[in-house]
Structure 1
Amino acid sequence: MNKLSLIALSLFSISFSYALETVKVFDGTERTCESEKDIFLNRNGAYRAKALKSEMNDQQVELTVKFEFLTCAKTDEGYKFVQIDPYSNTEYKIHALDGEIQTVNVLPINGYLKAYQDGVFKLIDRKELAFKAVQNHVVQIDLKDLKQKPSIDLAVSKEVILDSVDTQIIDTIRYGAFRVHFDVKETGASLKEVK
């Protein structure tokens, strides 16, 4: 069984190796890639995220997060998730109203990682996604924001053109969000340890 867990961000501090608390706050917890049906269910892709470290820089916390963008595909070894550039054009099939099968081309326009202050939904940082399947991003968080609420939400989304014989529309694909918790002190913040 080939499963991809999209919830568990394994978070590690730069100076410690311990599990940290991360809670999925939007949509499902797990994606599978075991059949043709999963190719359709994962037609917009998926991603994994791993927080690599957090560091203090003056009055800012810098959180480094690694992202891996994936798609479900049929390979010589069977169905499995494979890495894909988030800006790659993809396609899927649908049944049109007249019963014909149509191809929908998915043409990415742009993609973003956004960090929000938990519960307040204040935009803290926004990064444009790179043209790579695996990419690191450094999210800058003001220490004063973490003192108000010691957690942030990370969310990935991209705007795409959905192009078929009958229609062409612009849509936003939201891939879900992760919540990252911090231990906050007067002089700094670090990723929170899971008990």
Structure 2
Amino acid sequence: MKVLISTIILLSSLSVLSSESLPVSKVFDGTSASCEKKVDMWNYRFQAHKIKSFKTKVSKDSLNVDIETVMLSCEQKDNGYGFFERNLFSDFGYKVPSELDENGEVLFNNITVSTTSAKVIILNAKDYSEVLSINVNPSNENVLKLSDSVALDQVLSKEELAQYNNGKIVKKSLDIFLIRELNIEDEESSLKHRQSYGSFRVTLNLSK
């Protein structure tokens, strides 16, 4: 099963008077992730990240952001391989070969992965300066809904802000990453690991 990690929501321009979905493009590590064979389960042992919706709204001098995001787990079921939505904070695991038994068969260690914290970071696509960082709080839902706001002068450069205030349309591209702090352990050891997922790109058309 092959799925697009980025989902095109609506092909529409941004209206500063209403909240609208923006098209989201995967730009960093490919346009799609495959879960079609056993090796894909290993390649995506830390899961894959999907942005289901990205909406913005300008309110006075701030940009309000609403994001829906979900993790995808590559798993084998009776009818084959496929991606399944999973909660970002639910534990998951995988197996690694450890040694051979007396019959020459490979023995595996069970690895458990837990998420200690996570945040979504939005960066300026031009210079990769940070625009906004949103901490992700634990939830019982697979699809997480995140909301935050940032001052327009943190989104736009001085020149862009001047153009915006003069009534011109300003096009601004932003890149979105998920940063996930993981604890990886087996029966004998435990280690910390930071996993980055991304990036997705959105382009805003801002005007008064």
Q: Which amino acid aligns with 1:37?
A: V
Structure 2 unaligned segments of length 5 or more: list them. Answer: 101-105, 161-171
- Partner residue in 2 for 1:102: 109
Aligned match for 2:118, one of 91, 96, 111? 111
1:54, 1:63 within 8 Å by CA — same for their partners in 2?
Answer: yes
- Partner residue in 2 for 1:147: 156
How does 1:124-135 map onto structure 2 within 5 Å?
124-131=132-139, 132-135=141-144
How many pairs were matched up? 184
Q: Which of structures 1 and 2 has the bigger CA Rg?
A: 2
- Partner residue in 2 for 1:172: 194
- Partner residue in 2 for 1:3: 2
**In angstroms, what is the RMSD of aligned CA positions?**
2.6
Q: Does 1:31 align with 2:23?
A: no
Distance 1:78 1:88 in 2: 23
SS at match of 1:86: coil
Q: Which amino acid aligns with 1:143?
A: L
Are the structure 2 counterparts of residues 97 and 70 from structure 1 closer, same or farther at C-alpha, using a change threshold of 3 Å?
same
Are the structure 2 counterparts of residues 147 and 161 from structure 1 closer, same or farther at C-alpha, using a change threshold of 3 Å?
closer
2:20, 2:57 within 8 Å by CA — same for their partners in 1?
Answer: no
What TM-score do you get using the length of structure 2 for normalisation? 0.76
What TM-score do you get using the length of structure 1 for normalisation? 0.80
Equivalent pairs: percent with the same residue? 20
- Partner residue in 1 for 2:53: 51
1:176 Cα offset (Å): 1.4
Q: Does 1:60 align with 2:62?
A: yes
Distance 1:61 1:176 in 2: 22
1:75 Cα offset (Å): 2.2
Structure 1 unaligned segments of length 5 or more: list them. Answer: 188-195
Distance 1:156 1:81 in 2: 18
1:24 Cα offset (Å): 2.8
